Amino acid sequence: MNRRGRGEDSIYQEGDRWRGVVSLGYGLDGRRVRKKITGATKAEVLRKLRDLRNELDSGLPVPDDRLTVGAFLDRWVTRNLPGQISDVTLDSYANTVRLHLEPAFGRTVLRKLTVADVDGLLSAKREAGYSPNSQRIIRAVLRRALHQAQREGLVARNVAALSTAPRIRAKEGRALTIVEARRLLDAVRGTRNEALLTTMLAFGLRRGEALGLRWSSLDWDAATLKVTDGVKRVQNREPGRGGQTGW
């Protein structure tokens, strides 16, 4: 066992490994709180000790080498998200965590998750046939979760935000011509969808916006239509895969 040098924390060699111990003061029970670090060389341990000291000096909490990505995501979904987003969005986030993030990173220590890990997951999803938009959703959910971890000082940086975003090709929009619109209205004249389609064409509404209209949305005196609500599609499947969908 070697004695520590001047200005160093406790560093010693044990077998073929070097170990370092940082004193973090005393806990509420009066016992000394210490953080242990290991490495293959003395230089590696010194570097880890220096990085740890820099994190502590910057106000970050003591690193938790036992907190896994899976444990953090479970807490994020059940404690941090409720009340911050809609129930539909919460269900979507929870499914993404359960189907994609936890199987890939569940046992990985949160502090040790890397940009390469995230890039590797997105690459695997692409090779498995997931659409670019499904890859985008997976990355976006992880990025939001790690933003919370970064706010709490659990990670030094958001590796999902630094990962390569999937390339999504924008689809060219297409609108009906006047002739096509008239043919459509002629085809639905007298049916239960005539008023709905006429309103959609007149005001340029999306299907969900039109289905969310109420009589209170119409101001007869001002001759205006106020669009405030909408109907969203509910998906009972994982992104990019087959399954049932409906309104």
Whether the pLDDT of residue 236 is over 60: the answer is no
Sign of CA dihedral 34, 40, 44, 46: positive
Q: Whose CA is closest to 105, among 126, 129, 121, 122? A: 121
Nearest-angstrom CA–CA distance, 49 and 43: 10
Q: Whose CA is closest to 166, among 142, 207, 134, 200? A: 134
Q: Which of 111, 136, 162 is the last residue of a domain?
A: 162
User: Does 49 reside within a domain?
Assistant: yes
Who wins on pLDDT, 79 or 16?
79
> Could you tell me the pLDDT band of residue 119, with boundaries at 50, 70 and 90?
very high
Size (the chain), residues:
247
Virtual torsion, Cα 121, 123, 127, 128, nearest 10 deg = 20
Poorest-pLDDT segment among 2-6, 16-20, 21-25, 132-136: 2-6
User: Does 40 reside within a domain?
Assistant: yes
DSSP 41: S
Q: Quick one: pLDDT at residue 61?
A: 58
Residues 4-9, mean pLDDT to the nearest whole number:
45
Same-domain pairing of 49 and 75: no
Same-domain pairing of 28 and 74: no
The CA-based angle 46-67-43, given to 5 degrees, is: 10
Q: Quick one: pLDDT at residue 58?
A: 65
> Could you tell me the pLDDT band of residue 244, with boundaries at 50, 70 and 90?
very low
φ and ψ at residue 143, rounded to 5 degrees: -65, -40
Nearest-angstrom CA–CA distance, 205 and 201: 7
Same-domain pairing of 95 and 144: yes
Q: Which domain holds residue 14?
A: 10-57
Same-domain pairing of 77 and 149: yes
Q: Quick one: pLDDT at residue 241?
A: 47
Q: Quick one: pLDDT at residue 233?
A: 63
Who wins on pLDDT, 40 or 7?
40
Enter the pTM of the model: 0.56
Q: Quick one: pLDDT at residue 39?
A: 84
Which amino acid makes up residue 19?
A: R
Q: Quick one: pLDDT at residue 155?
A: 86
Count of domains in the chain?
Answer: 3
E strands within the chain?
10-14, 17-26, 32-39, 218-219, 224-225, 234-235, 245-246
Q: Quick one: pLDDT at residue 88?
A: 87
SS3 of 87, please? helix
